[in-house]
């Protein structure tokens, strides 16, 4: 077989193009809206959950099917004795002494049991659809909180990276000065100690960020590394009145409550079916008997019915009645729990919002700008090294505290929307 060098040349030519395309994807900044759309299109967990809906629909089709009739063949004789009567032949010269019986039986359910089972399966399908919707909302909530956390990590990583750069510069500068004995070794070691701490923090942040990015890529149904940077700087407008108004409609919007109400209906229809099961079903029969009766060819009709003497399904009816009461209590508790959570979350959001408004403006200024200014003061000997390090770490901690507070506020905002069952 002759090797085709043309294909090899084309493959080698395409390698830089493929690499540049992959690099472009890696450098791309994704918005939360884009990642959520990827979640809807690519998430494998959602695809798997959709099969539950299809299976529920198939169960409805199965519930609509009538029970099959049964056919029984009996009284077949494999030989004949001296007392056999002569019967008309069945085929050619065969069958003068052949006896057999046929019976066809069909079950007919009474009290609309079949329709009641269909209605139960339809409600079970509704529950499956609501479960899928609840899964989707929980995945969106988890994705959004992950993006909020990633945004905080990106800011901290940038800030700590600047700190490492500044202390590396100072380390080189003080290393030379300590060799020239213009500064003490203690000051150089102090800078080295701070540099090691900042590098360790940077490694921890990058490790935490990598773990979170892996999780986000999994949500979006993409290979690891496809999403490496996100832009989640979206302003949040907290309107307490809008949330309070949405609270009035949680029975219509919150999936968990809709599922609880659906389970109530399911319990009620199960109770109806249990009462219907107390009514005996009918079995209609048509039979044919050849040579087994006073007639050589006998055709008869029959009816079989269970007599409700011992079993009148009272236990199952009582269980179904108790299940209705249980679901009513569960729904009432769930609704109260959600309403309490909403009130708590609205109150906590107000606390966070007030704290963010009162945060000192200097604590959220650019770290790079502030460090440049203080480094100039250090070089001009307007401040000491210890003052520079103390300011650097204090300002770093102040900004991180602000970002943590902002992260908690934004996460709680998303949790409140989830509790209300709507996106405001």
DSSP H or E run through 59: helix 44-63
What is the sign, positive or negative, of the torsion defined by CA atoms of 227, 229, 233, 236?
A: positive
CB 220 within 8 A of CB 42: yes
Pick from 64, 59, 71: nearest CA to 109: 64
Note down pLDDT in tens along the chain; length 424 residues: 444 555 445 545 554 444 443 444 556 888 888 999 999 999 999 999 999 999 999 999 999 999 999 999 998 988 888 888 888 888 888 888 888 999 999 999 999 999 999 999 999 999 999 999 999 999 999 999 999 999 999 999 988 998 899 889 888 988 888 888 888 888 889 989 999 999 999 999 999 999 999 999 999 999 988 998 888 666 565 566 667 777 777 878 899 999 999 999 999 999 999 999 999 999 999 999 998 878 888 999 999 999 999 999 999 999 999 999 999 999 999 999 999 999 999 899 889 988 888 876 665 556 667 777 877 887 787 888 888 888 888 888 888 888 999 899 999 999 998 998 887 4
Strands 282-290 and 297-305: antiparallel
Extents of the domains making up the chain? 31-67+109-278+313-420
What predicted TM-score, i.e. pTM, was given to this entire model?
0.82
Give the C-alpha separation, 393 to 400, whole Å.
10
What is the sign, positive or negative, of the torsion defined by CA atoms of 278, 259, 246, 341?
A: positive
Pick from 338, 399, 328: nearest CA to 363: 399
- Structural tokens at position 305: 């019915």
CB 139 within 8 A of CB 43: yes
CB 330 within 8 A of CB 260: yes
CATH code, residues 31-67+109-278+313-420:
1.20.1600.10
Backbone angles phi, psi at 65, to 5 degrees: -75, 135
Give the C-alpha separation, 76 to 56, whole Å.
45
Give the C-alpha separation, 353 to 358, whole Å.
9
CB 419 within 8 A of CB 249: no
Report angle CA 319, 324, 328 to the nearest 5 degrees: 145
């Amino acid at each position: 077989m002759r090797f085709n060098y043309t294909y090899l040349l084309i493959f080698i030519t395409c390698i830089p193009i493929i690499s540049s395309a992959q690099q472009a994807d890696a450098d791309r900044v994704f918005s939360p809206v884009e990642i959520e759309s990827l979640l809807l299109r690519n998430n494998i967990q959602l695809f798997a959950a959709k099969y539950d809906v299809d299976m529920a629909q198939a169960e409805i089709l199965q519930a609509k099917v009538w029970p099959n009739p049964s056919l029984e063949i009996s009284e077949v004789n494999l030989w004949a004795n001296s007392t056999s009567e002569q019967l008309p032949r069945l085929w050619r010269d065969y069958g003068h002494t052949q006896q057999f019986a046929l019976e066809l039986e069909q079950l007919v359910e009474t009290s609309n049991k079949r329709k009641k089972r269909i209605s139960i399966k339809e409600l079970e399908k509704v529950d499956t659809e609501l479960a899928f919707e609840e899964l989707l909302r929980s995945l969106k909530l988890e994705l959004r909180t992950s993006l909020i956390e990633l945004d905080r990590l990106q800011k901290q990583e940038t800030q700590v990276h600047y700190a490492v750069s500044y202390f590396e510069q100072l380390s080189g500068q003080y290393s030379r000065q300590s060799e020239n004995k213009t500064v003490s070794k203690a000051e150089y070691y102090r800078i080295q100690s701070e540099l090691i701490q900042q590098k360790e923090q940077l490694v921890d942040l990058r490790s935490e960020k990598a773990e979170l990015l892996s999780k986000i890529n999994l949500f979006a149904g993409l290979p690891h590394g496809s999403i490496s940077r996100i832009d989640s700087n979206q302003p949040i407008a907290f309107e307490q009145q809008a949330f309070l108004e949405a609270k009035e409609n949680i029975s219509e919007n919150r999936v968990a409550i809709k599922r609880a109400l659906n389970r109530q209906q399911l319990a009620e229809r199960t109770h109806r079916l249990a009462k219907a099961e107390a009514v005996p079903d009918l079995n209609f029969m048509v039979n044919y008997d050849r040579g087994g009766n006073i007639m050589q060819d006998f055709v008869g009709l029959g009816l079989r019915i269970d007599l409700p003497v011992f079993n009148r399904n009272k236990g199952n009816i009582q269980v179904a009645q108790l299940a209705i009461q249980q679901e009513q209590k569960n729904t009432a508790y769930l609704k109260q729990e959600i309403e309490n959570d909403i009130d708590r979350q609205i109150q906590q959001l107000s606390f966070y919002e007030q704290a963010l408004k009162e945060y000192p403006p200097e604590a959220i200024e650019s770290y790079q700008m502030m460090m440049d200014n203080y480094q100039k003061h250090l070089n001009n000997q307007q401040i000491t090294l210890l003052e520079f390090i103390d300011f650097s770490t204090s300002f770093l901690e102040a900004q991180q505290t602000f970002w943590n507070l902002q992260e908690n506020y934004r996460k709680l905002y998303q949790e409140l929307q989830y509790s209300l069952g709507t996106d405001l």
